[in-house]
Structure 1
């Protein structure tokens, strides 16, 4: 599962990372992004990357109402091609979810310790995502997304039994390509990221409360 993450970089860092000249929304560094909130996403349109915002919790275009989004914050990579909520988006609506860390809770004798997991170089990485657009009975459009998960690498397995699919930078273009669909090739990308390039550290329990959106959330304790 992936239920909380961070994107604390500057607007200029985000633009440089994805080769875009502008961000069409009020970007702010985020220290505790939670399901149901708006997050930054990257899609590809006519061969160009575009940054925008999506609501976390995918609502398929065919859903009767938006409440399904509470159950679809994650999609298991092993079954994404078969599940009704995800199979259409897997074919045509793949996106990148930029992050610079994610949280998981490690069980211990004294309770659950929140851990922040990130790359050793502390750079932006991208999680594999899917998106869709749902239209309400009143005609309002809702743009939503989900984050794919996979089995954990040895580092994350000490903390949790799932981890987000983190794409290698050289594979991001393939994941975004809407014109060519090769299920087997795409599934080959949905593997645990190398533990050798990652590390983790404990953070304060305050990250357990979604209202806490402060730099202190990512401070090591």
Structure 2
């Protein structure tokens, strides 16, 4: 299946590459995200082998649908035409496959790979930026106002081996000018061109890589849509779990994971507290290392005089008191004087 393409090339550049003129360029608008119902350039050819570019609407509407009373031109009949359907007798494409074949030009196309419960977008393009030429069939619907509406469906086939990881189907890519001209030539019946509906392998020029999921929204039209996204840069969104899953019994692995997370948080808290404690201790050490100031000597207080008790204070002995040596001399003199009287 091919449900989204990219074509940001100006119409003048497309005319140069296809070497023909566009009949209705005002309907074309370059986009990085082309979806069904958008208008895109298509290479067509008349019976005189004159090539031209027609801006067509993506979504095949057969010309006979205008016979319906509702005439609902907004109804998309088909965005793809399977190669197997063209080889068969399917009514929708049985007439147009004979001589109303065209080539849709694009810078690349998007495809989604299924991974578990989600789809991952990939982008397929030429490495040198050359336009992809996709095989398609078209029809012309005459509207009530008399104007003609060109609509197309891209032809798809079984995917090549190198791209089979992505999707079981892929668009038919016409790789050279001869194949392109044979496909659009209305003189060639379908049997002459049916062998062109084959898959294309990835090679030195054709590339495929993962892109942003922003391409899922048609309104996104940024150049970032065609930029390769590495696996490690893909943001993993948390799974949405019901309230029953939240309160339900957890498996052993979930319990171990919770225990590990709790221990990890406890270790982080402990490390943070230890760090704070070390900071406090460092501050205390700095305080102890500061020199302590010497105490200022205080003057002794003078004794206060007490009234009424002055007579009881003992006075020191008079300076006339004789020493012990003088007393012994006086005693010796008295002794000697007594002896003299006796004699």
Given the two structures, how large is their TM-score scaled by the length of structure 1? Answer: 0.90
1:164 aligns with 2:171: yes
Match of 2:182 among 159, 166, 174: 174
What displacement does 1:186 show? 1.1
Greater helix proportion: 2
Q: Is the CA contact (8 Å cut-off) linking 1:59 and 1:66 kept in structure 2? A: no
Distance of 2:117 and 2:138 partners within structure 1 = 38
Residue 118 of structure 1 aligns to a residue whose secondary structure is strand
- RMSD of aligned C-alpha atoms? 2.0
1:73 to 67, 79, 91: 79
Where does residue 42 of structure 1 map in the other structure? 43
2:309 paired residue number: none
Q: Unmatched 5+ residue regions in structure 2?
A: 230-343
Specify the SS of the correspondent of 1:62. helix
The answer to whether the Cα contact below 8 Å between 1:165 and 1:191 also exists between their aligned partners in 2 is yes
Q: Which residue, out of 93, 98, 107, partners 1:100?
A: 107
Larger RCO (CA within 8 A; separation ≥ 6): 1
2:215 aligned residue: 207
> Over residues 130-152 of structure 1, what are the superposed CA-to-partner deviations in whole Å (9 max), with x where a residue is unaligned?
11112245645322111000000
User: Which residue of structure 1 aligns with residue 192 of structure 2?
Assistant: 185
Deviation for aligned residue 1:110: 5.9
Conserved? CA contact 2:11–2:25, under 8 Å: no
Equivalent residue for 1:130? 137
- Rate the CA distance shift 1:184–1:114 in 2: closer, same or farther, 3 A: same
Structure with more of its chain in strand, by fraction? 1
SS of corresponding position for 1:174: helix
Q: Does the CA contact (< 8 Å) of 1:58 and 1:68 recur in 2?
A: no
Work out which of the two has the higher radius of gyration on C-alpha atoms and give 1 or 2.
Answer: 2
Mapping 1:2-81, distance limit 5 Å: 2-21=2-21, 24-26=24-26, 27-45=28-46, 46-63=48-65, 64=68, 65-66=71-72, 69-81=75-87
Inter-partner Cα distance in structure 1 for 2:30 and 2:146: 32
**Range moving further from structure 2, 30-39 or 4-13:** 4-13
Tell me, yes or no, if the aligned pair for 2:105 and 2:134 is still in contact at 8 Å. Answer: yes
Correspondence for 1:86 = 93
Separation in 1, partners of 2:23, 2:226: 24
Aligned to 1:141: 148
The answer to whether the 8 A contact 1:58-1:69 is kept is: no
Among candidates 106, 120, 127, match of residue 113 of structure 1: 120
Contact 2:45–2:185 at 8 Å: present in 1 too?
yes
Query: C-alpha displacement at 1:155, in angstroms?
Result: 2.6
> Which ranges of structure 1 fall in alignment gaps of 5 or more residues?
none
| Superposition TM-score, scaled by structure 2 size | 0.60
Query: C-alpha deviations, 1:156-211, integer Å up to 9, x for none?
Result: 21111110011122200101111231x33211000001322422111111111111
